[in-house]
Amino acid sequence: MAHLGASQRLGDVRSIWDEGTDRQNGLPRASAGPPGRPLVPDNGGVLEMTREEFEELVAEGLDRIPPELTRLMDNVAVFVEDEPAAEEPELLGLYEGTPLTERGEWYAGVLPDRITIYRGPTLRMCATREEVVEEVEVTVVHEVAHHFGIDDERLHALGYG
C-alpha cells in the first residue's frame, strides 16, 4: 500500500459536519492570533481555531507517524468531531475497534476501526495555539497506539496520557 498523505487518510470530514451547529454551548470565543499569544479572552471564553485549522493539526499529527506503522492502519478511519458524547465531555480522542494485538483468524469483513479527535475539549483545555498543537499530537499518537494494542497505563508511562 502506498503511503497516503494525512489529508487523504483524514478524509473529507467537512462533508459530514453540520456547520450550522454551535457545539460550544454559547461560550464567548477569542479570535485566533499570532503563535504564542494566549487566545483565551479575559471574559473566560474558549480559544478559537477554525475546524479546518484543527483538521490540519490532526493531519500533521498523522504525518508524524512513521510510514512502517501507517501501513498497518489501512483499515482505520480518522475523524474530527466537535464534541464527544455528553457522558464524557472532556474526552479528547477515542479509538473504536479491535486492536491489532487482539485480532485472530476470525477478523474479516468488519467495518474500519475509527479514531475520533474532539475539537471542543481540546480548545477548552489549551490557552495557546502551541498548547493545541502539542495536545493534538499527543492525542493522535495516543489513539493510534490503541490500534496497536497499547493500553492507557503504558501510554501514560510513555508520556502520552
Supply the DSSP string of 5-23, one letter for each residue. -HHHHH--GGGG--TT---
- Residue 124 makes CB contacts below 8 A (sequence gap 6+) with 46, 47
pLDDT interval class at 69 (50, 70, 90) = very high
Q: pLDDT tens-digit profile of 4-33?
A: 444 444 443 333 223 333 333 333 333 344
Question: Whole-angstrom Cα distance, residue 142 to residue 155?
Answer: 7
Angle at CA of residue 159, ends 154 and 161, nearest 5°:
70
Using alpha carbons, select from 69, 21, 25, 19 the residue that is nearest to residue 46.
25
Which of 24-28, 51-55, 62-66, 136-140 is predicted least confidently? 24-28
pLDDT interval class at 45 (50, 70, 90) = low
Whether 16 and 114 have beta carbons less than 8 Å apart is answered as no
Model pLDDT, residue 8: 43
Identity of the amino acid at 157: A
> Which residues share a beta bridge with 29?
46
Q: Where are the domains of the chain?
A: 6-17+30-100+108-157
Angle at CA of residue 91, ends 29 and 65, nearest 5°:
100
pTM confidence score? 0.72
pLDDT interval class at 46 (50, 70, 90) = confident
CATH 3.30.2010.20 fits 6-17+30-100+108-157, yes or no: yes
